Amino acid sequence: MVPCPMKSEIENLFSDEILKQAVNLFELEKDKTMKIDSFESFIFDSVWKGLPCILRITHSTHRNIEQIKGELDWINYLAEKNAPVCQAYPSSNGNYVEKIKQQESSYFLAAIFQKAKGLFLNKNKHLLTDSLIMEWGKLVGKLHRLTKEYLPAIKESKRPVWSDYIPKIEEYLNEEPVALKRAKEIIKTIRSLPKDRDSYGLIHYDIHQANFLINNGEITLFDFDDSEYNWFVADIAVILFTALWAKLNGEKSRDEFISDFLIKFLKGYKQENELSNWWVNKISEFLRMRHILLYAVIIRERKLNPTEWSKKLIEEWKPMIENNIPFVTLKLRKIP
């Protein structure tokens, strides 16, 4: 799915007592637990058994306990296979996720993760070298190769499927008939694609420049909150889309930058996993899907919290969505 800011009523439910319970359950150092974010979940810097860590506290309206168990099980599977990801650590009870009740039908879920070292690419764009793009591709290829062998430890602990969110997209676009029609068209196209072990599985679905750190040219990935069952090329489409949205292209034209980026990215990707040219050519369809998903969420946010930013973005994207104008056009000179 795509990010949605936390509702104000959820922020109001959170309290120092809930934080205290989470700190105690995971035996964290209270005086070193500092809040750093509260966009979709409450995020804190902390220390666990002398190790820097990240504490995440999520409300049940965002993720249920089985979904988070599924997320953490996959993360730790990848870590065991030497993928460069931030593993989850257990609580004093031996649980990777702890439930903190607030009301009978409302609760918070706490988990802690290894803290990555390094710099953010979105704040250090000079780090975007050819070798880093290849390393980025290699990371994604490794995740896709490893997920082919992954079986959840607990059958009930399962992540969402890409199609779970279609009703919400249709709801958000209910007053945008042309955009809704375009959404239904691309959803139909995506649904028709083949699913097999080499093309479909559990993916991160948010491997953009703010969800990994770079340390001496090596990438460590985190924030698996959006992980879901989807086609592997959907992971690549998100990366391309967000690289442009973050203006990593600098002075280059969007089309030129992204086509050049993809060639280098795939060179690294194919060191770890096979991806046929047929699937590479489907990336444009997943870029279109991503564009419509984001447009739907921004339409919703515009209704809830009107801002000049969302107004301008809707004005820019509305004719693109309605007239099938791509966010970016892939012009691959050659595919490695």
Q: What is the pLDDT of residues 83-109, one digit of tens each?
A: 999 999 999 999 999 999 767 678 999
pLDDT (0 to 100) of residue 4: 61
3-class secondary structure for the chain? CCCCCCCHHHHHHCCHHHHHHHHHHCCECHHHCEEEECCCCEEEEEEECCEEEEEEEEECCCCCHHHHHHHHHHHHHHHHCCCCECCEECCCCCCCCEEEEEECCEEEEEEEEECCCCEEHHHCHHHCCHHHHHHHHHHHHHHHHHHCCCCCCCCCCCCCEHHHHHHHHHHHCCCCHHHHHHHHHHHHHHHCCCCCCCCEEEECCCCCCCCEEEECCEEEECCCCCCEEEEHHHHHHHHHHHHHHCCCCCCCCHHHHHHHHHHHHHHHHCCCCCCCHHHHCCHHHHHHHHHHHHHHHHHHHHHHCCCHHHHHHHHHHHHHHHCCCCCCCCCCCCCC
Domain annotation for the chain: domains and CATH numbers: 8-114 (3.30.200.20), 119-322 (3.90.1200.10)
pLDDT (0 to 100) of residue 319: 98
pLDDT (0 to 100) of residue 305: 86
Averaged pLDDT, groups of 10, the chain, 336 residues long = 64 89 97 91 97 96 93 97 98 97 83 98 94 98 97 83 94 97 98 97 96 97 96 98 92 90 96 95 96 95 90 97 95 65
pLDDT (0 to 100) of residue 12: 79
Q: What is the pLDDT of residues 176-224, one digit of tens each?
A: 999 999 999 999 999 999 999 999 999 999 999 999 999 999 999 999 9
pLDDT (0 to 100) of residue 281: 93
pLDDT (0 to 100) of residue 333: 61
pLDDT (0 to 100) of residue 336: 58
pLDDT (0 to 100) of residue 3: 57
pLDDT (0 to 100) of residue 155: 76
pLDDT (0 to 100) of residue 171: 95
